[in-house]
Amino acid sequence: MAETNITPEHVSQFDALRNPEYSNFCLFSCFMNGEPTTAICAVTRSDQDFNISPLFVAVTPGMSLTDHDGVPADE
C-alpha cells in the first residue's frame, strides 16, 4: 500500500471546494517564507470579524515538490 500525506481533513476541504453548496472560498494573495504566492482560503465570519483560514498554498519557485520516492514533480 502506498503512503500518503493526505489527511481526512484534506479530503473534506477538497470535497467542499468542489461542492457548489459552499461559497466561502477565496484566492488570497500572500507570501510563503518570503516568496509571493497565492492560497486557497476558507472565509468564515466571527461576530464582526472575518476569519481567513488557508487550505492550500500554490507552489513557489523556492519549494521542492517531490513524491514519496524523492522524485521531483516536474520529471
Q: Which three cell numbers stand for residue 53?
A: 483560514
* Residue among 37, 31, 46, 40 nearest 10 (CA): 40
Q: What is the pLDDT of residue 1?
A: 47
pLDDT computed for residue 30 by the predictor: 95
For the stretch 31-74, pLDDT in tens is 999 999 999 999 999 899 999 999 999 989 889 888 888 898 87
User: What is the rounded distance in angstroms from the CA atom of residue 29 to the CA atom of residue 60?
Assistant: 13
Residue 21 has what pLDDT? Answer: 94
What is the pLDDT, as a whole number, of residue 32?
92
DSSP state of 70: S
CB atoms within 10 A of CB 32: 16
What is the rounded CA–CA span in Å between residue 45 and residue 36? 26
Task: Give the model's confidence band at 11: pLDDT under 50 very low, under 70 low, under 90 confident, else very high.
Answer: very high
